[in-house]
Structure 1
Amino acid sequence: MRISQLEGKRVALWGWGREGRAAWRVLQQRLPALPLTLFCPAAEAAAAREETAGSLDVRADVDGAALAAFEVVIKSPGISPYGEAALHAAAQGTQFIGGTSLWFAEHADAQGTVRDTVCVTGTKGKSTTTSLLAHLLRASGARTALVGNIGLPLLEVLAPDPAPDYWAVELSSYQTGEVARSGAHPQVAIVLNLFPEHLDWHGSEARYIQDKLRLVTDAQPRIAVLNAADPHLAALSLPGSQVVWFNQAEGWHMRGDVVHRGAQAVFDTAHTPLPGRHNRGNLCAVLAALEALGLDAVALAAAVQDFRPLPNRLQTIGTCDGITFVNDSISTTPHASLAALDCFAGQRIALLVGGHDRGLDWHDFVQHMAHDVPPVEIVTLGANGPRIHALLQPLADAGRFGLHAAADLAEAMQLARTALGGQGGVVLLSPGAPSYGVYRDYVARGRHFAEMAGFDPEAITAIPGIGIA
């Protein structure tokens, strides 16, 4: 659905975060006479009325009947379409779309393809991969937009002048279906990996995977760049797209620390700024995408040396009293915590895990702690901290590691410092869980971690390269 097609319809906004504000501004500009209603929490209602100078009918109460009064509801990504209110309204004919869907519909050509657009999704590593993609595109001399879930809603860059040569778009599982819903097809779509996540939003692991894959199954990109090492992706059949595999011997893949293209050794990643082996492996996805765009990926690979890592993602924020503090606040799955541990193998690690409990299974994490080299200390915290603690307790009793329970992050930091016993090491915040209920988001959690470690939280938050450059 294009923005012009909203004219004359009964339209509401649902959510007043950055995405909701972006949608309101675009509609004010394109369709100034269109009456709009906003559904948002009571805590945001007064601010919304003030910001919009009364141009919105702001309602703090939302249910299925209220939503069903509208033909189209433009909802923020964090609001699940599988909730009772949304399902009731959808059954009455209400159409739910998001800013991502509107942007793609506006940018599609006559064949439905959004040219020069590379979409990136995956459970882990999508932000770094999208940022790295933009960095290497810019190294080729191309004006490139780094946008989407990484922190710049697409509707905030609806019609830049001049337009960029390429769009590097990060998409969460909340947004991948929006691309398909727009009726548009990305030129290139990268899917990195799939692990269970966001089960509270999607309702089940099967639906999470299905929704995530809609970027390639339903949106049918011209070229799909897929991870051959992921079993869910390896089993895919995409007759509507050209499929390019990475992490496969015939294509871009890693051998040790060296990136290869087939049999050709291209680039040694051992001393690059990419944090973690998984991110170095995702460099292969980026190079495969660049090649699919017709660029010289072999020549561009060395530009990774100038890449600036993103905040809150295996971010070393500093060393104090012999302890190095690493902020991996964006880690929201047990698999992400395991990948973070692998980055510091052989070092004395005090790991901080736990946060919002959305029902993810931690047994695989526990098995790794039983059979791999575990951290010397583990501190659990958050709503799911007691559940994780109980699973780990038998291993701690057997002497595999020290185990501690904290009421909050401040206590967890104190316990971690004490547990390392003045012998140095790494305090690693890789919680494997969201921050909901305690912090506004993972950024706020990372900032508090930096503050508790004795560093300036303002210095760690900027995302390098976001926007158009």
Structure 2
Amino acid sequence: MGSREVIDLQGTHVTVAGLGVSGIPAAKVLHARGAHVTVVNDGDDARAREQAAELEALGVTVRLGDGATLPEGTDLVVTAPGWKPDKPLFTAARAAGVEIWGDVELAWRLRGPDAAPWLAITGTNGKTTTTQMLASILKAAGLRTAAVGNIGVSVLDAVLGDEQYDVLAVELSSYQLHWAPSVRAHSAAVLNLAPDHLDWHGSMEAYARDKGRVYEGNRVACVYNVADKATEDLVREADVEEGCRAIGFTLGTPGPSQLGVVEGILVDRAFVEDRHKNAQELAEVSDVNPPAPHNIANALAAAALARAFGVPARAVRDGLRDFTPDAHRIAHVADVGGVAYVDDSKATNTHAAEASLAAYESIVWIAGGLAKGATFDELVAKSAKRLRGAVLIGQDRALIREALARHAPEVPVVDLDRTDTGAMLAAVQEASRLAVAGDTVLLAPACASMDMFANYNKRGDAFAEAVRELGS
């Protein structure tokens, strides 16, 4: 299954680019395997000095405030996934013929001969939820598994820890895939593709190419989104092992080699005998929590990967029933006066917000924050018929206000000229005035949170607290 040999690092000079959640574990692992490790880091603040002291106590060299220079004699660079490919350090490494790996690539190279296969998931939105759903389904089938990768548990820890796994559900970001050239999954899915992180990748083509790396060398199934042709194109371009199949998922009726939905039932026409005539019921739409359209798509993608691994239909149903989504992902907070209040603070880009808005019929939309270069015309045009009103907060709210004026001029808009954290209470109060019984007040900001809040979790917490005040 791809690169199997466990690399010998004894005596090699390895430069680790970046302290932090991936850099520190990588440095420790490399040092423990006999490498001469130098960590370089752009920052030189109190936190970095504290982390450096911890590593230096082990015998690791740390250079703070100098992430641009390649240390002399470097044989290999291992980078934190977020470091951009055009950094001078990498330019120097490439010029010297030095390989650059991310922590995911390092984990792949250090796997033992009996290591658990990987079921890999990427996409612009829905990765974490789908990976967790997949792990829940695999567990329901009695398999030893974990959701790892870009999700909290590092792949290095999973691969090198004492726990034995039958299979891993691995979430991979475009950054991680860029720095993981030899990873070869058992099966993989690209959930969707929309412009994101283009400042890092340089272009949409480069972003898509890095996402498409997840399909390279797949053995059993390349899972794609029937509604998103770009994902199918990536399957066509991938170099896979002989016999690997393209498997589509769709919210409509599935064709052969697809999973889809028929009269409220999730069905499989891919991993059944005589798929041209037969279908296997997997679960009911009501088994998916929450049963919003984009989340049903997530469930179908997770089911496809599980079925590719041989999981029985009953485990798909049981795993989906057992799954509880993370906070701030289309989470129902409360009903007040016949109006539902829903927190989807995790919708930090337009693609995620579009999926969230599509889940409800009549919406008072709370939106705004840091746009990160996004435009909102397409989002507003697609969602206009569902909007009863909009309340705008945050630094870049004018961009959304202007899109609403162009594409939904009849929708009443409250523009809160505030970026303080107390603005959320005012936003919820304004939204409650616009809403009538049967409406949904939806926090789906389509923007990042850092202009007002530490992160999207804090933004969602502020929304939930404001809703509780409303109902008290």
Task: State the match for 1:392 in structure 2.
Answer: 404
Task: State the match for 2:376 in structure 1.
Answer: 362
Choose the corresponding residue for 1:349, options 364, 386, 405.
Answer: 364
Task: State the match for 1:417 in structure 2.
Answer: 429
Task: State the match for 1:98 in structure 2.
Answer: 102
Is 1:249 matched up with 2:255?
yes
The residue type equivalent to 2:81 in the other structure is P
> Please, which runs of 5 or more residues in structure 1 have no aligned partner?
456-469
What is the distance in 2 between the residues matched to 1:440 and 1:86?
30
Higher relative contact order (CA 8 A, sep 6+): 1
Task: Decide which moves more: 92-101 or 435-444.
Answer: 435-444
8 Å contact kept, 1:147–1:170: yes
Task: State the match for 1:7 in structure 2.
Answer: 10
Task: State the match for 1:467 in structure 2.
Answer: none
After TM superposition, give the deviation of residue 167 of structure 1 in Å.
0.6
Is 1:59 matched up with 2:70?
no
8 Å contact kept, 2:376–2:400: yes
> Deviation string for 1:154-204 (max 9, x for gaps)?
11223233411111111111112344x2x2411111221111111121111
Is 1:274 matched up with 2:281?
no
TM-score for both structures, normalised by structure 1: 0.84
Choose the corresponding residue for 1:432, options 446, 453, 467.
Answer: 446
Task: State the match for 2:177 in structure 1.
Answer: 176
Task: State the match for 2:189 in structure 1.
Answer: 190
> Deviation string for 1:270-295 (max 9, x for gaps)?
35323521111222222222221122
Q: How does 1:43-442 map to 2 (within 5 A)?
A: 43=45, 44-52=47-55, 54=57, 55-66=59-70, 70-107=74-111, 109=113, 115-179=116-180, 181=181, 183-216=182-215, 218-235=216-233, 236-237=235-236, 238=238, 240-241=240-241, 242-243=244-245, 244-247=247-250, 248-250=254-256, 251-255=258-262, 257-262=264-269, 264=279, 265-270=281-286, 272-297=288-313, 300-318=316-334, 324-346=340-362, 348-355=363-370, 357-370=371-384, 372-382=385-395, 384-395=396-407, 398-408=409-419, 409-421=421-433, 423=436, 426-436=440-450, 439-442=453-456
What is the distance in 1 between the residues matched to 2:255 and 2:171?
27
What is the distance in 1 between the residues matched to 2:210 and 2:186?
19
The residue type equivalent to 1:38 in the other structure is V
Residues 50 and 69 of structure 1: is their aligned pair in 2 closer, same or farther, counting only changes over 3 Å?
A: same
8 Å contact kept, 1:119–1:168: yes
Task: State the match for 1:464 in structure 2.
Answer: none
Aligned residues: 443
What is the distance in 1 between the residues matched to 2:219 and 2:463?
40
After TM superposition, give the deviation of residue 61 of structure 1 in Å.
2.3
After TM superposition, give the deviation of residue 109 of structure 1 in Å.
4.4
Task: State the match for 2:275 in structure 1.
Answer: none
| Percent identical | 27
After TM superposition, give the deviation of residue 319 of structure 1 in Å.
5.0
What is the distance in 1 between the residues matched to 2:290 and 2:72?
47
Residues 286 and 19 of structure 1: is their aligned pair in 2 closer, same or farther, counting only changes over 3 Å?
A: same
The residue type equivalent to 2:356 in the other structure is A
The residue type equivalent to 1:308 in the other structure is T
Task: Decide which moves more: 259-268 or 139-148.
Answer: 259-268
Residues 8 and 452 of structure 1: is their aligned pair in 2 closer, same or farther, counting only changes over 3 Å?
A: farther
8 Å contact kept, 2:174–2:210: yes
Task: State the match for 1:17 in structure 2.
Answer: 20
TM-score for both structures, normalised by structure 2: 0.83
Where 1:59 maps in the other structure, the secondary structure is strand
What is the distance in 2 between the residues matched to 1:326 and 1:202?
33
> Deviation string for 1:418-456 (max 9, x for gaps)?
24218565443222233356555433443444455559x
8 Å contact kept, 1:199–1:359: no
Is 1:41 matched up with 2:14?
no
8 Å contact kept, 1:68–1:92: no
Where 2:387 maps in the other structure, the secondary structure is coil
After TM superposition, give the deviation of residue 407 of structure 1 in Å.
2.8
Task: Decide which moves more: 439-448 or 293-302.
Answer: 439-448
RMSD over equivalenced CA pairs, Å: 3.0
What is the distance in 1 between the residues matched to 2:465 and 2:15?
40
After TM superposition, give the deviation of residue 208 of structure 1 in Å.
0.8
Residues 400 and 321 of structure 1: is their aligned pair in 2 closer, same or farther, counting only changes over 3 Å?
A: closer
8 Å contact kept, 2:428–2:466: no
8 Å contact kept, 2:105–2:179: yes
What is the distance in 1 between the residues matched to 2:388 and 2:113?
52
The residue type equivalent to 1:350 in the other structure is W
The residue type equivalent to 2:389 in the other structure is V
What is the distance in 2 between the residues matched to 1:292 and 1:40?
43
After TM superposition, give the deviation of residue 222 of structure 1 in Å.
4.1
Residues 52 and 167 of structure 1: is their aligned pair in 2 closer, same or farther, counting only changes over 3 Å?
A: same
Residues 439 and 68 of structure 1: is their aligned pair in 2 closer, same or farther, counting only changes over 3 Å?
A: farther
